[in-house]
Structure 1
Amino acid sequence: MLADKALDLFSAYLKTRNSSELTLAAYQSDIIQFMEFSAHELGIETESLEVNQIDKYIVRSYIGQMTERELKRKSIARKIAAMRSFFKFLCREEIVSQNPVQKIATPKVGKNLPRFLFQEHMEKLLEASNQDEKNGLRDQVIVELLYGSGLRVSELVNLNKPDVDLDGSLIRVFGKGKKERIVPLTEPAEEAIKRYLLQRDDQQEALILNYKDMRLSSRSVRRILDKLEKTAKLNQHVHPHMLRHTFATHLLEGGADLRSVQELLGHKKLSSTQIYTHLSREKLRSVYLKAHPRAK
């Protein structure tokens, strides 16, 4: 089977599994790059490449080329994972008889601890918006939801008015793979949402709008946080996911159990949540080194 056709089938399969558009685009990009390399190695046009022409030697050459180009281990590991999933699917569908990536080792990737804001810095950010203005109230809603409910930026911008239950202090969120979860709404977030909606005179279903009264984009949220960061004089870059990291870290520091935090974040695996326990330990160590006379 032609590689292009095989990729179309694989993409259709990913869609049935409710893979996000970002995941789908990343898989397609990684596999297309690999196909182009494979065709070049075989001395043929990419359009003529058949998946059964690809063997483990081509895979190893591709990894060697990525290493020579000094790609980061994380990027190489991601590309290998995409190729492995692609050929695993082709084997299951009996399109190819062997998976040329099956025995290829994935480079070990060290875990980077996610950055978060300390309590005093978070308070400054929460106080940075001018709530006497319509856009100021909107900006306050953004910060309150990212930090107070631990939302991803994609979840935030896709919220609709009916998703917010102000009486029950809850929000319905659609996360990765369109998986639904219910998360609590803080009292300050409720107040900010009520005031923001009272100021609006549009008929839009979206909860958060831009200055043209259209649904706000993820990019706009990043720009808004950049502005608030400067107003708060934090002297550190604040991105939307950083507030989600801060949400999880502050919960654990406050005594929340790991399983509850996992559910609130919408993580499939507990291992994805466990990284925040390392963050708490790092903070404890920092406090210890600064405060204990024997640690100096």
Structure 2
Amino acid sequence: MNKLKKKRVKNPVTALSVGLEENLHKLGYAADTIWKQRRLLNDLLSWLAGQQMELSNLSEVQVNRFMGDRRAAGVRKLKTPKALGHILHHLRGLGLVPNPEALKELGPAGPILDQYRRFLRSERGLSGTTVDRYVDCLRPFLDARIQDSGLNLASLTSADVTSFVVAWCPSRNTGVAKLTLTALRSFLRFLHLDGVTERPLAPAVPSVLHRRLAGLPKGLERDQVRRLLAACDISSTDGVRDLAILTLLVRLGLRRSEVAKLGLDDIDWRAGTVCVHGKGNRHERLPLPADVGQSVAQYLRHARPTKAEGRMVFVRHIAPHRALSPSRVSTIVAETAQRAGLGRVHAHLLRHTAATELLRAGASLSEIGQLLRHRRAQTTAIYAKVDRTNLRLIARSWPEDAQ
């Protein structure tokens, strides 16, 4: 006997739900998802009425209470505050719900860290991820400066800085230690500029022992690059997008964040150039090779969602169609490399691949540095060791008969 299909309860249509439906439709959501969001909005309004509250009183605390009551009632889906994201955004846009309070650092070090965050963003032009990493690295140093009277930075001396580094860094790996010292130098410069310390203490931060040019940059061979690009299924929209991303990484040596930040207005099709948004908020224009431009144009014409948000080139193909994150760019590289049978491949390896391929083609180190947008020639010098043919010309023969 066939079971009767359960009839879906019709959501009451209100002015709020109609506006929400229109916004979700523009973002590319399916009808089923829009229906669930309308129902969740109606549940929220009913809960507020039961609590004798207005929308203007809906804070993060009340949102957590609402979701807690849903879980207690046995609701199995849409039971976390994240599910209310689009609804809250819609209601805030109408001015019915207050904006969330900006997160502030807690504890005695909170005020100075909030000022330092603003400094890094406005003066240094660092990304939010980099700012968070700097602040996290500074917490142990600031914790050591907290006394009964609060945070003491005015009496900070060079000896205090050196003592912290000597005690803290030896037990950390090289990467963590280097980032901690970089963040510490930046923070000490900020303290001096802000007048907290009378003397500049950044020079007191020692350096982590690091032998420059000790490593050897590794890139993919030409056959491996062909296999990587061939692993993209260009019969699907995802494959067309991924091929364009990989071509940019391999041919122009872009960083994953630079691919994620690439905007539609950054490409000058007539001039054949592309503007790259690099580190430190630097904008530099590079030539756009024909094969790279062709793969990007193919994606824009046939694969990029028509309801994509914003002006970023590469977006999610699942609603909401927002710009890809740098981590998603890395995931695309890793997943494609696995399909190609290349094992574990990081996005930065393709940057090395672009540099080594240029070197094989006869490009000079200065030309490679211009493509990779290195600030210092020493950074590019590591690729000199890849040119084994020319290195053999200057290498001294091994004395076979040495006594």
Cα distance in 1 between the residues matched to 2:117 and 2:322: 31
- Residue 60 to residue 172, structure 1, CA distance change in 2 (3 Å): closer
Residues 276, 285 of structure 2: 8 Å contact kept: yes
Among 285, 289, 298, the alignment partner of 1:182 is: 285
- 2:207 aligned with 1:106, yes or no? yes
**Which amino acid in 1 is paired with 2:339?**
T
Helix, strand or coil at the partner of 1:263? helix
The 5-angstrom pairing of residues 8-27 of structure 1 reads 8-14=114-120, 15-27=122-134
Cα distance in 1 between the residues matched to 2:323 and 2:204: 46
- 2:342 aligned with 1:234, yes or no? yes
Helix, strand or coil at the partner of 2:285? strand
User: C-alpha deviations, 1:234-259, integer Å up to 9, x for none?
Assistant: 13x11111111111121122111222
Q: CA deviation at 1:110?
A: 3.1
**Which amino acid in 1 is paired with 2:237?**
K
**Which amino acid in 1 is paired with 2:118?**
A
Q: CA deviation at 1:154?
A: 0.8
Among 119, 137, 151, the alignment partner of 1:49 is: 151
Cα distance in 2 between the residues matched to 1:72 and 1:170: 41
Highest CA radius of gyration, 1 or 2?
2
Residues 337, 345 of structure 2: 8 Å contact kept: yes
- 2:355 aligned with 1:253, yes or no? no
Corresponding residue for residue 196 of structure 2: 95
- Structure number with greater CO (CA < 8 Å, separation at least 6) is 1
Q: CA deviation at 1:189?
A: 1.9
Among 340, 361, 369, the alignment partner of 1:262 is: 369
Residues 31, 82 of structure 1: 8 Å contact kept: yes
Residues 184, 205 of structure 2: 8 Å contact kept: no
Among 233, 239, 242, the alignment partner of 1:130 is: 233
Q: CA deviation at 1:84?
A: 2.7
Cα distance in 1 between the residues matched to 2:237 and 2:136: 40
- 2:168 aligned with 1:66, yes or no? yes
Corresponding residue for residue 163 of structure 1: 266
Structure 1 stretch displaced more, 162-171 or 29-38? 162-171
Question: Where does the alignment leave 5 or more consecutive residues of structure 1 unmatched?
Answer: 289-293
TM-score, L = length of structure 2: 0.62
Corresponding residue for residue 52 of structure 2: none
**Which amino acid in 2 is paired with 1:276?**
Y
Determine which structure has the larger helix proportion and give its number: 1
Q: CA deviation at 1:106?
A: 1.8
- Residue 168 to residue 104, structure 1, CA distance change in 2 (3 Å): closer
Corresponding residue for residue 32 of structure 2: none
Corresponding residue for residue 35 of structure 2: none
Query: How many percent identity over aligned positions?
Result: 27
Cα distance in 2 between the residues matched to 1:67 and 1:218: 29
**Which amino acid in 2 is paired with 1:277?**
A
- Residue 183 to residue 36, structure 1, CA distance change in 2 (3 Å): same
Cα distance in 2 between the residues matched to 1:262 and 1:193: 24
Structure 1 stretch displaced more, 253-262 or 196-205? 196-205
Corresponding residue for residue 79 of structure 1: 180
- 2:237 aligned with 1:143, yes or no? no
Q: Number of matched residues?
A: 279
- Residue 65 to residue 120, structure 1, CA distance change in 2 (3 Å): same
Helix, strand or coil at the partner of 1:172? strand
Residues 276, 284 of structure 2: 8 Å contact kept: yes
Q: CA deviation at 1:105?
A: 2.9
Corresponding residue for residue 214 of structure 1: 322
Cα distance in 1 between the residues matched to 2:181 and 2:327: 29
- Residue 91 to residue 279, structure 1, CA distance change in 2 (3 Å): same
CA RMSD of aligned residues (A): 2.7
**Which amino acid in 1 is paired with 2:166?**
G
Cα distance in 1 between the residues matched to 2:109 and 2:235: 58
The 5-angstrom pairing of residues 199-210 of structure 1 reads 199-200=302-303, 202-204=306-308, 205-210=311-316
Question: Where does the alignment leave 5 or more consecutive residues of structure 2 unmatched?
Answer: 1-107
Cα distance in 2 between the residues matched to 1:21 and 1:259: 31
Cα distance in 1 between the residues matched to 2:388 and 2:115: 45
Corresponding residue for residue 278 of structure 1: 385
Residues 80, 106 of structure 1: 8 Å contact kept: yes
- Residue 119 to residue 101, structure 1, CA distance change in 2 (3 Å): same
**Which amino acid in 1 is paired with 2:306?**
D
Helix, strand or coil at the partner of 2:154? helix
